Amino acid sequence: MTEIPTPASPFAYAPAPESTSVVDLRTSYGLFVDGAFVDGRGESFTTLNPATEQPLAEVAAADAADVDAAVKAARRAQERVWGRMPGRERAKYLFRIARIIQERSRELAVLETLDNGKPIKESRDVDVPMVAAWFFYYAGWADKLEHAGYGTTPVGVAGQVIPWNFPLMMLAWKVAPALACGNTVVLKPAETTPLTALLFAEICQQADLPAGVVNVLTGAGETGRLVVGHDDVDKVAFTGSTEVGRQIARAVAGTRKKVTLELGGKAANIVFDDAAIDQAVEGTVNGIFFNQGHVCCAGSRLLVQESIAEEVLDRLRARMSTLRVGDPLDKNTDVGAINSREQLDRITELAAVGEEEGAGRWAPDCALPSTGYWFRPTIFTGVTQAHRIAREEVFGPVLSVLTFRTPAEAVEKANNTPYGLSAGVWTEKGSRILWMAERLRAGVVWANTFNKFDPTSPFGGYQESGYGREGGRHGLAAYLQEENR
Amino acid sequence: MSRDRTRRDADRIDVRKTYKLYVGGAFPRSESARSYEVTDARGGFLANASLASRKDGRDAVVAARKAFGSWSTRTPYNRGQVVYRIAEVLESRRDQLEREVREATGVNAGGARAEVDQAVDRLVWYAGWADKLAQVVGNANPVAGPYFNLSSPEPTGVVAVMAPASPLLGLVSVVAPVITTGNTCVVVASQPHPLPAITLAEVMATADLPGGVVNVLTGHQGEIAPWLASHLDVDGLDLTGVDDADLARDLEVAAADNLKRVRRPGPEDLAADPRLDRMTRFVETKTVWHPVGT
Amino acid sequence: MLAPMAAPPTAATPSSVAPTDPLGVAGSDASLRRFLHGLPGVDQVGVESRAAGLATRSIKTTAKAYALDLAVSMVDLTTLEGADTPGKVRALSAKAVRPDPTDASCPAAAAVCVYPDLVATAKQALGSSGVKVASVATAFPSGRAALDLKLADVANAVADGADEIDMVIDRGAFLVGDYRRVLDEIVAVREVCARPGGHDAHLKVILETGELATYDNVRRASWLAMTGGADFIKTSTGKVQPAATLPVTLVMLEAVRDFRRATGRMIGVKPAGGIRTTKDAIKYLVTVNEVAGPDWLDPDWFRFGASSLLNDLLLQRQKMRTGHYSGPDHVTLD
Compare all CA atoms of chain C with the CA of B147 and give the residue at the minimum distance.
Answer: C45
Helix axes A64-77, A221-229, angle to 10 degrees: 50
pLDDT digits (tens, 9 = 90+) for A180-202: 999 999 999 999 999 999 999 99
Is residue C11 pLDDT above 80, yes or no? Answer: no
Which residues in chain B have their CB less than 8 angstroms from residue C213's CB? 294
The nearest CA of chain C is from the CA of B134 a distance in Å of: 28
Compare all CA atoms of chain C with the CA of B146 and give the residue at the minimum distance.
Answer: C45
CB neighbours (10 Å) of residue B4?
Answer: 10
Q: What number is the average pLDDT over the span B266-280?
A: 93
Q: Encode burial over C26-36: b for 16+ CB neighbours within 10 A, e otherwise.
A: beeeeebbebb
Strands C304-306 and C75-78: parallel
Judge whether B181 and B133 are in contact, CB under 8 Å.
yes
Inter-chain CB proximity B276 and A485 less than 8 Å = yes
Which residues in chain B have their CB less than 8 angstroms from residue A482's CB? 277
The nearest CA of chain C is from the CA of B145 a distance in Å of: 9
Q: How far, in Å, CA of B279 to CA of A482, rounded? A: 13
Position C332 scores a pLDDT of: 85
How many CB pairs below 8 Å do chains A and B form together?
A: 115
Is residue A459 pLDDT above 50, yes or no? Answer: yes
Range of the domain at B86: 19-291
Percent of chain C with pLDDT over 90: 89
Query: What residues of chain B, 128 to 147, have a C-beta less than 8 Å from chain C?
Result: 145-147
Compare all CA atoms of chain C with the CA of B293 and give the residue at the minimum distance.
Answer: C44
Inter-chain CB proximity A12 and C62 less than 8 Å = yes
Best residue in A126, A433, A463, A464 for a mutation probing chain B (most B CBs within 10 Å): A463
Judge whether A187 and A215 are in contact, CB under 8 Å.
yes
Phi-psi label, residue A88: left if phi above 0, alpha if psi -120 to 50, beta otherwise? alpha
Q: What number is the average pLDDT over the span B260-270?
A: 94
For residue C104, the SS3 value is coil
The nearest CA of chain A is from the CA of C259 a distance in Å of: 10
Distance linking the first and last C-alpha atoms of chain A: 61
Reported residue count of chain B is 294
**What's the CATH number where C233 sits?**
3.20.20.70
List helix spans (H) across chain C: 29-37, 44-54, 61-73, 86-97, 119-126, 147-159, 171-175, 179-193, 209-212, 215-227, 246-263, 278-287, 308-322
The nearest CA of chain C is from the CA of B289 a distance in Å of: 12
Backbone angles phi, psi at C188, to 5 degrees: -65, -40
Is residue B2 pLDDT above 70, yes or no? Answer: no
Reported residue count of chain A is 485
C6 touches chain A (CB under 8 A): no
List subunits contacting chain C, requiring 3 or more Cβ pairs under 8 Å.
A, B
Reported residue count of chain C is 334
AA identity, residue C258 = D
Range of the domain at C186: 29-323
pLDDT digits (tens, 9 = 90+) for A362-410: 999 999 999 999 999 999 999 999 999 999 999 999 999 999 999 999 9
Is residue A125 pLDDT above 70, yes or no? Answer: yes
Is residue B68 pLDDT above 50, yes or no? Answer: yes
Q: What angle do CA C111, C114, C120 make, to 5 degrees?
A: 90
pLDDT band at C19 (very low <50, low <70, confident <90, very high): confident
Total domains present in chain C = 1
How many CB pairs below 8 Å do chains A and C form together?
A: 101
Which residues in chain C have their CB less than 8 angstroms from residue B291's CB? 43-46
Q: How far, in Å, CA of A28 to CA of A405, rounded? A: 57
Task: Supply the mean pLDDT for chain B.
Answer: 95
The nearest CA of chain B is from the CA of C215 a distance in Å of: 8
C64 classed as catalytic: no
Is residue C13 pLDDT above 80, yes or no? Answer: no
Which residues in chain B have their CB less than 8 angstroms from residue C48's CB? 293
Long-range contact set of residues C78-82: C-beta below 8 Å, sequence gap at least 24: C78/C112, C78/C113, C78/C114, C78/C238, C78/C272, C78/C305, C78/C306, C78/C307, C79/C112, C79/C113, C79/C114, C79/C307, C80/C113, C80/C114, C80/C115, C80/C136, C80/C140, C80/C141, C80/C237, C80/C238, C80/C239
Which residues in chain B have their CB less than 8 angstroms from residue A457's CB? 141, 143, 149, 151, 287, 289
DSSP secondary structure string for all residues of C183-210: HHHHHHHHHHH--TTS-PPEEEEE--HH
Position B8 scores a pLDDT of: 58
Name the nearest CA neighbour of A238 among A218, A260, A268: A260
Q: How far, in Å, CA of A268 to CA of A278, rounded? A: 18
Backbone angles phi, psi at A383, to 5 degrees: -85, 145
List helix spans (H) across chain B: 54-73, 76-92, 94-105, 109-129, 133-137, 169-180, 195-205, 221-230, 245-255, 277-280
Residue C200 within any structural domain of the chain: yes
Instruction: Determine which one of C204, C270, C312, C334 is catalytic.
Output: C270
Inter-chain CB proximity B145 and A452 less than 8 Å = yes
Position C198 scores a pLDDT of: 84
Judge whether B115 and B169 are in contact, CB under 8 Å.
yes
DSSP secondary structure string for all residues of B38-56: EE-TTS-EEEEEE---HHH
Examine residue C141 and say whether the peptide bond preceding it is cis (omega within 30 degrees of 0): yes
Which residues in chain C have their CB less than 8 angstroms from residue B293's CB? 43-45, 48
Judge whether B143 and B100 are in contact, CB under 8 Å.
no
CA distances from C77 to A143, A362, C73 (A): 60, 45, 10
Name the nearest CA neighbour of C285 among C253, C255, C310, C315: C253
Q: How far, in Å, CA of A122 to CA of A169, rounded? A: 12
Judge whether B126 and B62 are in contact, CB under 8 Å.
no
Q: What share of chain C is helix, strand, coil (3-state, %, to 5)?
A: 50, 10, 40
The nearest CA of chain A is from the CA of C17 a distance in Å of: 20
C95 classed as catalytic: no
B288 touches chain A (CB under 8 A): yes
Q: How far, in Å, CA of A194 to CA of A55, rounded? A: 13
Total domains present in chain B = 1
DSSP state of A81: I
B292 touches chain C (CB under 8 A): yes
Name the nearest CA neighbour of A216 among A233, A232, A194, A235: A194
Inter-chain CB proximity A246 and B259 less than 8 Å = yes
Q: How far, in Å, CA of C273 to CA of C244, rounded? A: 6
Q: How far, in Å, CA of A456 to CA of A442, rounded? A: 18
Position A482 scores a pLDDT of: 84
C43 touches chain B (CB under 8 A): yes
For the domain spanning A28-263+463-484, the CATH number is 3.40.605.10
Q: What number is the average pLDDT over the span A426-454?
A: 98
**What's the CATH number where B120 sits?**
3.40.605.10
Residues of A with CB under 8 A from a CB of C: 1-4, 6-16, 121, 125, 273-279, 282-283, 308, 311, 322, 331-332, 428, 448-449
Does pTM surpass 0.80? Answer: yes
Q: How far, in Å, CA of A318 to CA of A322, rounded? A: 7
Q: What number is the average pLDDT over the span B63-86?
A: 98
For residue B172, the SS3 value is helix
Residue C18 within any structural domain of the chain: no
Instruction: Determine which one of A296, A297, A393, A464 is catalytic.
Output: A296
Query: What residues of chain C, 21 to 50, have a C-beta less than 8 Å from chain A?
Result: 40-43, 45-47, 50
Q: How far, in Å, CA of A392 to CA of B101, rounded? A: 51
Q: What number is the average pLDDT over the span C29-39?
A: 97
Which residues in chain A have their CB less than 8 angstroms from residue B157's CB? 463
C11 touches chain A (CB under 8 A): no
Longest C-alpha distance within chain A, in Å? 73
Position C267 scores a pLDDT of: 98
Residue C19 within any structural domain of the chain: no
Name the nearest CA neighbour of C112 among C160, C162, C70, C71: C162
Longest C-alpha distance within chain C, in Å? 61
Residue B2 within any structural domain of the chain: no
Task: Give A473's contacts (C-beta < 8 A, 6+ positions apart).
Answer: A141, A148, A149, A458, B139
Judge whether C228 and C174 are in contact, CB under 8 Å.
no
List subunits contacting chain A, requiring 3 or more Cβ pairs under 8 Å.
B, C
Q: How far, in Å, CA of C97 to CA of B24, rounded? A: 86
Position A485 scores a pLDDT of: 64
Inter-chain CB proximity A459 and B287 less than 8 Å = yes
pLDDT band at C333 (very low <50, low <70, confident <90, very high): confident
Instruction: Determine which one of C160, C163, C166, C170 is catalytic.
Output: C166
Is residue A458 pLDDT above 60, yes or no? Answer: yes
Most confident of B125-139, C15-29, C314-328: B125-139
As a whole number of Å, the CA-based R_g of chain B is: 20
Phi-psi label, residue C107: left if phi above 0, alpha if psi -120 to 50, beta otherwise? beta
C234 classed as catalytic: yes
B255 touches chain A (CB under 8 A): yes
Q: Indicate the residue of C60, C67, C294 with minimum beta-carbon distance to A16.
A: C60
Inter-chain CB proximity B293 and C45 less than 8 Å = yes
Position B1 scores a pLDDT of: 41
pLDDT digits (tens, 9 = 90+) for A250-261: 999 999 999 999
Q: What number is the average pLDDT over the span B37-66?
A: 97
Is residue C231 pLDDT above 80, yes or no? Answer: yes
pLDDT band at B5 (very low <50, low <70, confident <90, very high): low
User: Per-domain residue ranges for chain A?
Assistant: 28-263+463-484, 268-447
pLDDT band at A207 (very low <50, low <70, confident <90, very high): very high
**CATH architecture for the domain at A268-447:** 3-Layer(aba) Sandwich (3.40)
Instruction: Determine which one of A107, A262, A393, A464 is catalytic.
Output: A262
Residue B5 within any structural domain of the chain: no
Compare all CA atoms of chain B with the CA of A129 and give the residue at the minimum distance.
Answer: B144
AA identity, residue A453 = F
Inter-chain CB proximity C67 and A11 less than 8 Å = yes
Q: How far, in Å, CA of A25 to CA of A110, rounded? A: 11
Q: Indicate the residue of C2, C58, C294 with minimum beta-carbon distance to A9.
A: C294
User: Which uninterrupted H or E stretch holds A77?
Assistant: helix A64-77
